Structure 1
Amino acid sequence: MKRKVFISPLFTVMLVCLLVITACTKTDSKEIKDTAIPQETKQTDTEKATAAPPKEEEKHEPVTLKLLAWHVGAHQELFDMFHEKYPWITIEVEEWGIDKAVAMQAAGEPADLVWITGLSPWLKDGMLEDLTPYIAKDPTIQNAKIIDGFLDAFKTPDDKLWAIPYTAISEWIVVNKDLLKKHGMEMPSYDWTYDDMLEMAKKATDPAANEYGISYDSLMASHFNWILPVANGHAPNLRFFNEDLSQNLLNTPEVLADMKWLQDLTTKWHVRPSDEEAAKLGWEKANNFLTGKVLFTLGADWVIPGYNELATFEWDLLPLPRGKVTQATVQLLGPISILSASKHKEEAFKWISFQFELEAQKWNVKNGSNTFVIHPEIDAEIDRTPTWKGKDTEVVKMTRTMCCNLPGPTIPDFDEFQNIDAALFESMYTNFDITSLVSRVDKFNEDTLKLRKEMGW
């Protein structure tokens, strides 16, 4: 995806300067300690008496930020870390949704922050704050070396930033190394191809032993679809979207051919079980990699704790394969916005800014997520964290800068596209005629142009 994240070396330069200054200060302090202070530089009793008193620490009124979110989970630890740094600010999670936001505002107690899925429902009533001026004056963000295109991932065509990512989750291929060894194969190189993947999946497939090369689960059959057209150069963005996200390309022969190749994993090559075969195995469309009967699956941060705890076999990571043009993966970005009715906008942006600090980035590493700030300390954290013990951490690092950020919030009528996408996902396990979706895509594209015009895009 061409929205790539700008990378500024300024933070690293400042860090080096800070170290130099610190070293010089230590040297100067030693010299002063060992050298008699000239008489004229000593402070007199009168000067001591009239010297200004030490500046008191700035006082702050307590602030409670209300975040509309669909879960808390491990984020409570991050909320606590933020509160430790800013003791006067507390974060409370409220029920998510536009109706909730409207009700809170009507009651005179508006929410401050919100996780979002789509922008258009929130923008039509002016419910979001433009974050552009906040970012411009924030030293943490301005001085961080950030992945290319990251900050602009949710920029709208009117050059406004109504939301920015607060988290980044890269996806990789997870490999059952025991099954790999059983079938006489070795881990491929990082630049392996989709053809390589298919051939390896064929070798690992043994229906008599209930073993398959490709997993039968929703992640592999949905997110995997979005990647191949980008890797093959048939769509510039994930989810089959064109350059400016104004049209979906699932109605083009090239993208349809990519979808047929993926469907053939089940219907032609049988390296992935069909619905009927999976039912006999007792497999559901949840993750079935832990059965030990699957060579390849698609992984993201939420599956890693389970693999570390429950896998009875050796597993490791690979980057997504290379297509005909490039090597791409899914970068799942969580959008966060400040509500325009918030009474604590400056404090709310402190929470957003905190996500770009090393402390918060290291927390992401510990929890299996990828990071969007590049820094030697973060790379070292990836190498030493127990999450990736014994795994190829170079894959974790290299996927941070791989295309592409997953579009969503900046697509008008995103819910309707998701309905089309759900039908495509189901087709991966059957002989469903994928071309039957073309008319729905045509209608979606027509409606999208109307909606964009109404929104001034």
Structure 2
Amino acid sequence: MRRWQIRTIFALIILCLILSLFYVNSNKTLKIGVITGSNWDVPSPDALKIVDNAIERFEKEHVNVQVEYISGIRKEDYSEWLSQQALSGDVCDVFMVLSNDLATFADVGILENLSSFIENDPDFDESVYFFSSYQSGQVNHVQYALPYESVPTLMYVNRTLLESEGIEVPKQDWTWEDFYEICARMTQDTNEDGILDQFGQFGYTWQNAIFSNGAKIFNDEGSNALLENDRVYDAIEFMRRLEKLNRGQSVTSEMFDKGQVVFCPMSFSEYRAYKPYPWSVKKYSSFEWDCIPMPAGPDGSNVSQLDTLLIGMSKNSKYKDLAWEFLKELSFNEETQKDIFRYSQGVSVLNTITDTKMIIDSLQDETPGGSDYDLGFFNSMMENAIPVKEFNGYEQAMALIDGEIKLLSINEDDIEAAIGRVEDQVDALLESVK
């Protein structure tokens, strides 16, 4: 065979190899798992527009990559769907993670440890996140997911009811005593039939009281309860005082909806969903209402619990570098995080977004003619919020504690002795599930 023929054949082989490599690299498909609708159980018909916009930006920057997701998976079905994907060995490259699934998915090896990606990416800066939102993606101090959107719990106030009694809406730094005093004044039998029909609060829990008094329920590792201390005892005693105001009557959410209750803790997503017209007509049309921080205990502050929807990477992804870039597109990119305010009912996880003029103007536009949003306390509240973090044995442990503290709030048993017993039971339970 002549030399030029050999060279031609060799060149064709090289060309074929180059073309095959180009073909492989130009047809990468990144699969993502997302929830349809709202993670916060409120009307949010445009929530997927956030993801669609992020995909459009990402595909423009990565011309050889296609991002796909399956639509129609509701929150209540999502955990089961993702578990089935894992069992079949077909987990998405990137997927949303509910806060109560994080520890389980990390433990069984579905989620990739993100530490090396964080450490080796000079463009990534964890300081731009609210600390509590970012911490929500950690298990035993290891980052397994990035935050996507967060929702704090705030105290909702029936302004109309307070004004009818000549009482001002509490300031942002209000305390347990302010809370109790207003509840005591507002708990009344307004029609004088011998039955209370107006109440101070519905839904304020012992967890709210414990966190706002500077206490914790568990240690950071989830291996022990931390209930045997004065801050917890004081919180339970405060719950007793509140409970006695109702004289044994049961207060319901329907009573708040009808305007018979002054205070009710709710998620900020409910405020955003039901404040604007027309949803306000369907939910709370008979009174004016607003949100303020939770009341502070004598040894604590005006802190709230924070629930965060997370984004994780499959440990078995074939495209981990691309998956990391798309994680950042959803979590770290400011345009995506601004879209959280535009199309969802949550809160951006970036501390650079929440107090911008664009966001405040956007929120004001949601409530034409209504009361103004006062976000002056928001960044501080988000930074210091208590993240919802579950672990092996969490639900069983919480059920034990919840049952005991609910009984303590309505009886006269010795608080310290009862809490000592339940802490021993919880510690034994947590030891058994290690």
TM-score, normalisation: structure 2: 0.73
Q: Quick check: 1:306 aligned with 2:283?
A: no
What is the RMSD computed on CA atoms of the aligned residues? Answer: 3.3
Distance 1:426 1:194 in 2: 19
**Shift in Å at residue 395 of structure 1?**
4.5
**Map of 2:331 onto structure 1:** 355
Change (3 A) 1:345 1:399: same
Alignment of 1:100-249 (within 5 A): 100-101=81-82, 103-105=84-86, 107-112=88-93, 113-116=95-98, 117-138=100-121, 141-142=124-125, 145-157=128-140, 159-209=141-191, 210-215=197-202, 220-222=203-205, 225-233=206-214, 235=215, 237=216, 240-242=217-219, 245-249=222-226
**Map of 1:12 onto structure 2:** none
Distance 1:446 1:137 in 2: 40
**Shift in Å at residue 319 of structure 1?**
1.5
Q: Quick check: 1:365 aligned with 2:330?
A: no
Change (3 A) 1:420 1:447: closer
Change (3 A) 1:243 1:110: closer
Q: Does structure 1 conserve the Cα–Cα contact (< 8 Å) formed by 2:355 and 2:379?
A: no
Q: Quick check: 1:423 aligned with 2:403?
A: yes
My pick for the range that moved more, 395-404 or 176-185, is 395-404
**Map of 2:27 onto structure 1:** 61
**Map of 1:394 onto structure 2:** 375
**Shift in Å at residue 144 of structure 1?**
6.4
Distance 1:368 1:71 in 2: 10
Distance 1:358 1:190 in 2: 28
**Map of 2:292 onto structure 1:** 318
* Paired-residue identity, %: 18
Change (3 A) 1:413 1:432: farther
**Shift in Å at residue 245 of structure 1?**
4.1
**Map of 1:49 onto structure 2:** none
Q: Does structure 1 conserve the Cα–Cα contact (< 8 Å) formed by 2:237 and 2:409?
A: no
Q: Does structure 2 conserve the Cα–Cα contact (< 8 Å) formed by 1:330 and 1:405?
A: yes
Q: Which amino acid aligns with 1:213?
A: G
Structure 2: gaps spanning 5 or more residues: 1-24, 39-43, 60-65, 192-196
Q: Which amino acid aligns with 2:56?
A: E
**Shift in Å at residue 331 of structure 1?**
1.8
SS of structure 1 residue aligned to 2:268? coil
Distance 2:405 2:348 in 1: 29
**Shift in Å at residue 214 of structure 1?**
0.8
Distance 2:105 2:146 in 1: 14
Aligned length in residues: 371
SS of structure 1 residue aligned to 2:291? strand
Q: Quick check: 1:83 aligned with 2:55?
A: yes
**Shift in Å at residue 122 of structure 1?**
2.6
**Shift in Å at residue 199 of structure 1?**
0.6
Alignment of 1:275-290 (within 5 A): 276-278=249-251, 283=252, 286=253, 288-290=255-257
**Map of 1:262 onto structure 2:** 239
Q: Quick check: 1:296 aligned with 2:263?
A: yes
**Shift in Å at residue 300 of structure 1?**
1.3
SS of structure 2 residue aligned to 1:448? helix
SS of structure 2 residue aligned to 1:295? strand
Q: Does structure 1 conserve the Cα–Cα contact (< 8 Å) formed by 2:305 and 2:388?
A: no
**Map of 2:20 onto structure 1:** none
**Shift in Å at residue 203 of structure 1?**
1.6
